[in-house]
Structure formats: C-alpha cells, structure tokens
Amino acid sequence: MPSPVSVWNTAPTSAPNQRKGRYVPGSAAHPAKMLPAIAAHAIRTYTRSGDLVLDPMCGIGTTLVEAIHLGRCALGIEYEQKWARLARLNAVSAGHEGGTGSGAVHCGDARRLTHLMPATLHGAVDLVITSPPYGSSVHGQVRSTRETGTPGVVKKHFRYGHDPANLAHVSTDRLLDAFTEILTQCRIMLRPGGTAVVTTRPWRERGELIDLPSAVLAAGRAAGLTPTERCAALLAGIRDSRLIARPSFFQMKNVRDARRQGIPLSVVQHEDVLIFTRPGTGANSNTLNLATHDTRNEVPYRRAAGNLDSPPLPHLHPKGRP
C-alpha cells in the first residue's frame, strides 16, 4: 500500500479528461461530481485488491467506477433515482472496459444505510469515500447564449433534483445533523480499523465563510470516528513547480464580484480531505466477491412508494466459501 501523503496530486489533467471514455453519456450533468483522481488516489492508498469500498452518497458512481478499475468491490447508495440509474450504468461500463472489480448501486437514503445493506456487510467495509453536498457557487457548467441572439452565458447543471428532502436543499445546520447520522451509519459498516475519506471545501454565502471542513471534522468525531489525517487534494495542475488553476467560469465570476465588494476571496485550488478511522484493530479476513449487476436487459422494479430501487444485492460471502 502506498505511504500516505498530505498533498494529493489529483489534477494532472482536467476533470472532463479524467472522465473521458470512462463514464456514460449524461454523467457530466451531475452538479457535484467527485474528481475521479481523488477517488482513485484514496482507493490506492487505503485499500488493497479485493477490498470493499462504500460510497453512501455516490452520485453518478465515481467511487464505484474507480474502485472497479482498481480491482476492488464497491457499493453505492444514491438518493435520487436519476443518478442511481447512471451510477449503475457507469459501474457496468467500468466492468466492460477492463475493470476487474465489481459493484452494485442501491437507491435510498444514506441515513438508513444499515437498513439498506445486508447485515452480513455490517463491519465488513474497508473504505468509505464520500462528500456532502455544498455551495452551488462552486458547481455548474457554462453555456453561451449567443445562439439566442443575446450575447452572454448562463449556468447549467448546478442544481440537484426538486425533492425538498434532498440534503442539498436543507440548511447548513440540518445538513450537518444529517451528515453526522450518515457517518454514524458508515462507522457501523466499517470494519474495526477501517478508513473513511470525506472530501469537502468551504464556501461563501452572502459574503459569510461557511467552514464546512471544520464542521465535517466535528461531525466525524460525533459519529464515533477517529480523525487521523487532514490532506489537500489538488484541483489545479502542477507545471514547472507552479499550480495551474482550472476554475470554472462562475468560480472566477464569484471571486471577481467578491473582491469588488472588498471580500478577499480566492479561487479554490484544492479539496480538503478528512481521513477518519473506526476505532479498533484487526485485518479484514472477509474479502468479498460482489458481482456487478448489469441492468441493460432488465426493467428495474419499483417500491410501492414509487421509488426506483436496485434489485436485491447478490449474496456476498468470503471468497472460496460456498
């Protein structure tokens, strides 16, 4: 396993280049995609081949895709049906593109993680990777409006769905309470000594700094996890020992607008990466074999409440056992 380092060189190429050819069409529309190289670096650093990786808020399945390509087993939970579908397709595609790992996606609320996952997996996860939703000012893409005859740009793909129960739409206080619940569930899923990696960053709301990394650190402690590292995952490239920023149009606009108002805002060039462990020791002897569920020829079933759900997870057992 590689030795941990505090600064992760995770943006040698741009995010679109990192996803090119590895993610199915439509994936770019998610408002808060994890940088693939961040997920891959965490997986390489904190797991070994065959280990089990969990993302309780998996979005389009970035964690699963990178885990499958690195020969790990992966589980994802996603609240929104649209993204859960894409995450499944991305996981299947990763297997078809040479990934030797396996994965499955379940549509549901991560606050009920231990109810959604089979009891046989409680205490079996080697690594949790996730990120809470945060400020829309750092998300989104730009589209020119010249074709409409009105020069300018508009922002797109910066909002989650319209479900008010989605944590992306709640207040910061409610988000942190909910995220603490999710991390508590993750602690139960982790094996003793297992690792949780949470990526986050601060943002400004009406000029006020929202220090989400520090709040997430407190949430992890409240959930019974032990903080062990605080790292920086670069969102900028490195050239001739200098950082090459790759901010979005709206990040640059927000910075310029803030400076005009006397707020010393700078372009964010890294994600805070908070590393926690579940207290306890002991190697994981429960190496799992998880078959990627291929939904191309299957119509997903629906719950009585109308929520899309993945088919029941395949039976998991230690390799070599019946």
Q: What is the pLDDT of residue 151?
A: 54
Q: What is the mean pLDDT of each run of 10 residues along the chain (322 residues)?
A: 77 91 88 91 97 96 97 95 94 94 95 94 97 60 50 49 56 83 97 97 74 93 97 93 82 84 84 96 50 34 30 35 30
Q: Closest by alpha carbon to 160, among 133, 179, 131, 130? A: 133
Q: Please report the pLDDT score of residue 68 as a whole number.
A: 97
Q: Read off the tokens for 244.
A: 């090459």
- Strand 270-277, strand 190-200: pairing: antiparallel
CA–CA separation, 253 and 251 (whole Å):
5
CATH superfamily of 7-133+170-243+272-277: Vaccinia Virus protein VP39 (3.40.50.150)
Between CA 273 and CA 211 the distance in angstroms is: 13
Distance, in Å, from the CA atom of 227 to the CA atom of 202, rounded to the nearest integer, reads 19
pTM equals 0.78
pLDDT in tens, 170-227: 566 788 889 999 999 999 999 999 999 999 988 777 667 778 899 999 999 999 999 9
For CA atoms 54, 187, 180, 234, the dihedral sign is: negative
Rounded CA separation 126/118 (Å) = 16
pLDDT score of 146:
52
What letter represents residue 106's amino acid?
Answer: H
User: Where are the domains positioned within the chain?
Assistant: 7-133+170-243+272-277
